Amino acid sequence: MTEKKVSVLEGFKAFLMRGNVIDLAVAVVIGAAFTSVVNSFVKGIINPLVGAFGTKDLDAYSSCIKGTCQVVNGEVQGIKIMWGSVLGAALTFLITAAVVYFLLVLPMAKYLARKAARDAAKEGTKEVVELTELEVLKEIRDALVAQSRGEGGGSGSSPGRPLG
């Protein structure tokens, strides 16, 4: 037997044509565009609100591990921990996650739930008909089996064996 080898180009084409690859590419592009919206929201609204209680620039918050951090001849003496930048990044992440959840995920989930309920209501009538047809077919099969047993005399070579 000879196995057909798939060329690298054909394999790559098959990979690209999968639906999930296209969906992922669209998600990345939309995510990149959405990042600028969220960043401007954080810089324009959230940072000034935080600035009302402290500083607008969270990167300015830091601590020193050894003694006090002093700048001598343009160099920082001591070990400086920049916890303000970590706090700013964490706030940006939480705000981004909240915006994505409340403006995109939650409304889409509600929409899909309503759509699924409508589809289920439409399919509900169809399923009743399909189940009824299935029951009728089972009854016909059972009647044919009973009829063939009565006429066939119960021999093992009867063509009307139960279908199972």
Reported as a single tens digit per residue, the pLDDT across 18-35 is 767 777 888 888 888 888
Q: Cα separation of 23 and 75, whole Å?
A: 49
Number of domains in the chain: 1
> Bigger pLDDT: 161 or 118?
118
**131 in any annotated domain:** no
**153 in any annotated domain:** no
Q: Residues of the chain with pLDDT > 90: what percent?
A: 2
Residue with tokens 């830091």: 62
Classify residue 88 by burial, with Cβ atoms within 10 Å: 0-12, 13-18, 19+.
Answer: buried
Host domain of residue 74 = 8-115
Give this prediction's pTM.
0.47
pLDDT at 157 over 80: no
**36 in any annotated domain:** yes
CATH code of the domain covering residue 62: 1.10.1200.120
pLDDT at 112 over 80: yes
**145 in any annotated domain:** no
**163 in any annotated domain:** no
Q: Cα separation of 22 and 14, whole Å?
A: 12
**135 in any annotated domain:** no
**146 in any annotated domain:** no
The DSSP result for 40-73, as a single string, is HHIIIIIHHHHHHHS-S-GGG--EESSS--EEET
Centroid of chain to Cα 124: 27
**95 in any annotated domain:** yes
pLDDT tens across 33-54, in order? 888 887 787 778 877 777 787 7
Residue with tokens 């739930």: 113
pLDDT tens across 134-153, in order? 788 888 889 999 888 886 54
